[in-house]
């Protein structure tokens, strides 16, 4: 699993160990019934999303103001080490099939034509997938409710003699809801580091959801 920067390729290109496939795109399985790997790593896409956008709006009613920000990123990819580990140790939901009767991988044998019929112990099969990168590269597209702020303007003029010209109390929330994503089990914004190796996640923590109350006084 590599993140590379090469002339002629997108920035932070993800390169992963991929399945060996026949001309029809079917996965080739070796004599033991396990997926065969390509000799060279395969380009899987950039770890940096080329499209970033958001929509913000404000709604006002009497003394209340509601500000909403929805944003997203599109066109990028991410390798998830968390999901790779989940397959290795049988913690992913996708590893449930075959635990009793074994796994027969969908594809063809080494001749590239005969359907694979080799049954493999589930533990052996799913642990073997940990050595591949291709199954754990996902689209990092997402849409999130990034922030929401509800303001209430306090009626300071009715307070009598005070030094305040205005007062506002606000309820603030950030990273409240992931509306849509394509990465199972992880936050698509999780990252292994903040350097040039973008598009790599390994047991990363999701972005923190925060909520709070603010009081703004103007003299």
Place 38 in a pLDDT band, splitting at 50, 70 and 90. Answer: confident
| pLDDT score at 212 | 97
Overall pTM surpassing 0.75 (yes/no): yes
Q: How far apart are CA 187 and CA 140, in angstroms?
A: 9
Residue 133 pLDDT class (50, 70, 90 cuts): very high
Residue 137 in tokens: 């590269």
What confidence tier does 35 reach under pLDDT thresholds 50, 70, 90? Answer: very high
User: Going by DSSP bridges, is the β-strand pair 77-80/210-218 parallel, antiparallel, or unpaired?
Assistant: unpaired
Q: What is d(CA 136, CA 82) in angstroms, rounded to the nearest whole number?
A: 9
Model confidence at 161, pLDDT cuts 50, 70, 90, reads: confident
Average pLDDT over residues 17-25: 94
Residue 209: other Cβ atoms inside 10 A: 10
Give the residue with greater pLDDT, 196 vs 71.
71
**β-strands 42-46, 77-80: how paired?**
unpaired
Number of neighbouring beta carbons within 10 Å of residue 34: 19
* Residues 68-106: tens digit of each pLDDT: 999 999 999 999 999 999 999 999 999 999 999 999 999
pLDDT of residue 159: 75
User: Would you list the domain boundaries of the chain?
Assistant: 2-218
- Please state the rounded mean pLDDT for residues 142-160: 90
DSSP 3-state assignment of 176?
Answer: strand
* pLDDT, position 191: 84
Q: What is the mean pLDDT of residues 31-54?
A: 92
């Amino acid at each position: 699993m590599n993140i590379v920067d090469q002339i002629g390729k997108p920035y932070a290109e993800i390169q992963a160990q991929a399945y060996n496939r026949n001309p029809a795109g079917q996965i080739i399985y070796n004599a033991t019934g396990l997926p065969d790997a390509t000799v060279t790593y395969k380009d899987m896409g950039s770890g940096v999303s080329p499209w970033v956008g958001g929509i913000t709006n404000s709604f006002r009613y009497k003394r209340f103001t509601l500000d909403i920000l929805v944003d997203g990123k599109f066109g990028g990819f991410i390798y998830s080490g968390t999901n790779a580990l989940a397959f290795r140790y049988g913690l992913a939901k996708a590893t449930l099939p075959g635990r009793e009767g074994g796994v027969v991988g969908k594809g063809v044998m080494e001749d590239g034509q005969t359907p694979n019929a080799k049954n493999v112990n589930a533990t052996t099969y799913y642990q073997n997938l940990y050595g591949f990168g291709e199954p754990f590269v996902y689209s990092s597209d997402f849409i999130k409710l990034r922030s929401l702020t509800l303001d209430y303007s306090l009626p300071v003029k009715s307070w009598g003699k005070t030094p305040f010209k205005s007062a506002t109390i606000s309820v603030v929330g950030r990273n409240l809801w992931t509306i849509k994503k394509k990465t199972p089990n992880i936050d698509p914004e999780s990252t292994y580091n903040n350097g040039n190796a973008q598009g790599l996640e390994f047991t990363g923590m999701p972005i923190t959801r925060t909520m709070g109350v603010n009081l703004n006084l103007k003299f």
